[in-house]
Amino acid sequence: MSNSTIPFANYQSLSDEACQARILAAKASLGKRLVILGHHYQRSDVFQHADFTGDSLKLSRLAANSEADYIVFCGVHFMAEVADILSRPEQISILPDLAAGCSMADMATLARVERAWRELKAACDPDAVFTPVTYINSAADLKAFCGEHGGIVCTSSNAPKILEWSFAQREKVLFFPDQHLGRWSGYKMGIPLDEMVMWDWDLPLGGLTPEQISKARIILWKGLCSVHQMFQPQHIQRFREAHPDGLVISHPECSFEVCRESDFVGSTEYIIKTIAEAKPGTHWLVGTEFNLVNRLAEQFKDQGKTVQFMASTVCMCSTMARIDPQHLAWCLENLVAGQVVNRIAVPPGEAALARVALQRMLDAS
């Protein structure tokens, strides 16, 4: 066992092939002490090493129930935080590259949300009027904020149900960080579009008037996913012209216009399940991240299914793609040597409040 960390510089010039062999050797050495989690959007050369694959919440819960001492999350920062929050105290959560963040999550910081909460006091008492709802794609401190202020967490699959819970607590919702998931979920509940207004964190009172806030049922944060914003209604229109019998399925992080033009809208797990259960020979246009779509196209081609990426240009989750075979080999070989690199540890008080908001979600859904 080494007393010093192996530097990442030792791995930067390694070929992917050399890294793959070393990853397999490290996994074999660590055995059940290690679990590797691979998010659906992860690049294939890393995804292939995952012990569990899925969306962020599912993966964190699987890891917490495993025997592993070390949880290596091949995803992004907020996912590794959720794994740390939900795991047992003795388990250690690791992110192979700390630069693997989420641009959407970064759009709602604790400072911005706390300022919005203070500014809402000019129009009403937010603690009495608003239920704060944060998408799971957010930092741990925002989950803690929701835990502290009677709020809750949602996922892309349970957001409408979580909104129902939220309205049962208070008359309005402050929804962050993804405006599109909030708008689509509200729309599916029958809330008129003019009763959902957007909060621009760069403007006083979010760019809204007291009258707009008074009328609104949902205040949507001005946040979005850089991948899903690439998809446009014209992509769907061109597909339907070329393939009249084709089917369109989109993630609810897509714009309202794209969701409205789609035949199906749902989470990554829903997209996979829907295409898997479709009749052989069907043709799909899919509005979500490229690595997942590419994997589905390969998985179902033997059934005669055509799975097509929605945008005309390739758009991947570039921050998640920062986790490469070199970073994975580096963190695993350090574990073999008895060293932990890139540990993600949410402060205990923050984690406790975040767990409150997450538990409310699990109970409500």
Report field, pTM of the whole predicted structure over 0.85: yes
Q: The tokens 């930092």 sit on which residue?
A: 139
Kindly report, residue by residue over 134-154, the tens digit of the pLDDT. Answer: 999 999 999 999 999 999 999
Q: What is the pLDDT of residue 317?
A: 74
State how many domains the chain has: 3
Pair 112, 220 in one domain:
yes
Single residue among 204, 226, 248 that ends a domain in this structure:
226
Report the C-alpha gap between 19 and 16 in whole angstroms. Answer: 5
Cis peptide before 89 (omega within 30 of 0): no
Asked if the structure places residue 16 within a domain, the reply is yes
Asked if the structure places residue 356 within a domain, the reply is no
Q: Is 17 exposed, middle or buried (0-12, 13-18, 19+ CB in 10 A)?
A: exposed
Pair 96, 111 in one domain:
no
Q: What is the pLDDT of residue 365?
A: 86
Pair 328, 303 in one domain:
no
Kindly report, residue by residue over 86-130, the tens digit of the pLDDT. Answer: 999 999 999 999 999 888 999 999 999 999 999 999 889 999 999
Q: The tokens 């229109």 sit on which residue?
A: 237
CATH of residue 87's domain is 3.40.50.10800
Single residue among 200, 226, 252 that ends a domain in this structure:
226
| C-alpha Rg value of the chain to the nearest Å | 21
Secondary structure of the chain in HEC code, one letter for each residue: CCCCCCCHHHCCCCCHHHHHHHHHHHHHHHHHHEEEEEECCCCHHHHCCCCEEECHHHHHHHHHCCCCCEEEEECCHHHHHHHHHHCCCCCEEECCCCCCCCHHHHCCCHHHHHHHHHHHCCCCCHHHHEEEEEECCCCHHHHHHHHHCCCEEECCCCHHHHHHHHHHHCCEEEEECCHHHHHHHHHHCCCCHHHEEEECCCCHHHHCCHHHHHHCCEEEECCCCCCHHHCCHHHHHHHHHHCCCCEEEECCCCCHHHHHHCCEECCHHHHHHHHHHCCCCCEEEEECCHHHHHHHHHHHHHHCCEEEECCCCCCCCCCHHHCCHHHHHHHHHHHHCCCCCCECCCCHHHHHHHHHHHHHHHHHC
Pair 193, 211 in one domain:
yes
Report the C-alpha gap between 31 and 117 in whole angstroms. Answer: 47
Q: What is the pLDDT of residue 320?
A: 74
Asked if the structure places residue 268 within a domain, the reply is yes
Report the C-alpha gap between 233 and 310 in whole angstroms. Answer: 10
Low-confidence ranges of the chain (pLDDT < 70): 1-2, 314-316, 318
Q: What is the pLDDT of residue 227?
A: 86
Q: What is the pLDDT of residue 2?
A: 55
Strand partners, 265: 250
Q: What is the pLDDT of residue 316?
A: 65
- Enclosing domain of residue 94: 8-101+319-346
